[in-house]
Structure 1
């Protein structure tokens, strides 16, 4: 799942990769509209599989953070809106639900808002399995072979 979910700089929301064209990606919005559009060579496209969050030790894949939230909230969206949440609510959410060991110096409030926004988008679109045990084993094997 995570390889096909994309964030495109300058475009709101998340996108699912549905195809490739000449120097473009064909993407579909992850919302109720399922509107298709293209992302060209000038667009900054990031796969959510490549995104990590800073912690006090090693960085943690964003999909693992989404899985932590999904497990804690039993697959439901957050009870607060990412736009209206206070800084205290967001830090409490990170401490108690998402990632207790997050790096308070490098993770900004805007990053937490984006995390909540993306999580809610994905859950409302029906995504529940963000990170599996097999992916964790594969990551650990890749790290050991890189050493």
Structure 2
């Protein structure tokens, strides 16, 4: 499953998998407990494939940050927990993404990234490569 179907829903803990669309919104399944819920269109929802992390030069897509964590941890879960203290989280994130913008990426953001990575890892969602359609589109545009 790609990050295009994984959602962060405002007011609901953890991550959710998009199950199906309805007339008034969509049905999502929690990765934490497997419960399904209906979400209306007015709810603030973020698709993981659309999230990026600020660096000093550019915005790095979350999938790239997850890939860097995966490489650092040799495919395992993170060596730090999302509930560790702020300094430990920032040191870890600096190792993963050394040029992240410390003024715009808060400890709460780092906690979410670590928590989300571990949750995805638990559910076997470990392919953080870019979808093939996007690569083909970019190559066509470059020609």
Per the normalisation by structure 1, the TM-score is 0.86
Gap regions ≥5 residues in structure 2: none
**Corresponding residue for 1:120?**
118
Q: Aligned Cα RMSD in Å?
A: 2.2
Point out 4+ residue stretches in structure 1 off by more than 3 angstroms.
132-145
**Does residue 1:7 correspond to 2:8, yes or no?**
yes
**Corresponding residue for 1:87?**
86
**Corresponding residue for 1:38?**
38
- For residue 143 of structure 1, report the CA deviation from its aligned partner: 8.2
Listed as ranges, the matches of 1:1-147 within 5 Å are 1-31=2-32, 33-83=33-83, 85-96=84-95, 98-132=96-130, 134=132, 137=135, 141=139
- For residue 92 of structure 1, report the CA deviation from its aligned partner: 1.2
Tell me, in whole angstroms, the C-alpha distance in 2 between the residues paired with 1:135 and 1:79.
33
- For residue 41 of structure 1, report the CA deviation from its aligned partner: 1.8
Distance 1:21 1:49, change over 3 A: same
Deviates more, 1:10-19 or 1:133-142: 133-142
Tell me, in whole angstroms, the C-alpha distance in 2 between the residues paired with 1:132 and 1:13.
23
Per the normalisation by structure 2, the TM-score is 0.88
| Equivalent residue pairs, number | 142
- For residue 94 of structure 1, report the CA deviation from its aligned partner: 1.0
- For residue 132 of structure 1, report the CA deviation from its aligned partner: 4.0
Distance 1:54 1:140, change over 3 A: farther
- For residue 142 of structure 1, report the CA deviation from its aligned partner: 8.5
**1:97-146: CA deviation from partner (whole Å, max 9, x where unpaired):** x211101111111110111111111001111111248577458558869x
Gap regions ≥5 residues in structure 1: none
**1:18-37: CA deviation from partner (whole Å, max 9, x where unpaired):** 10111121111113x32111
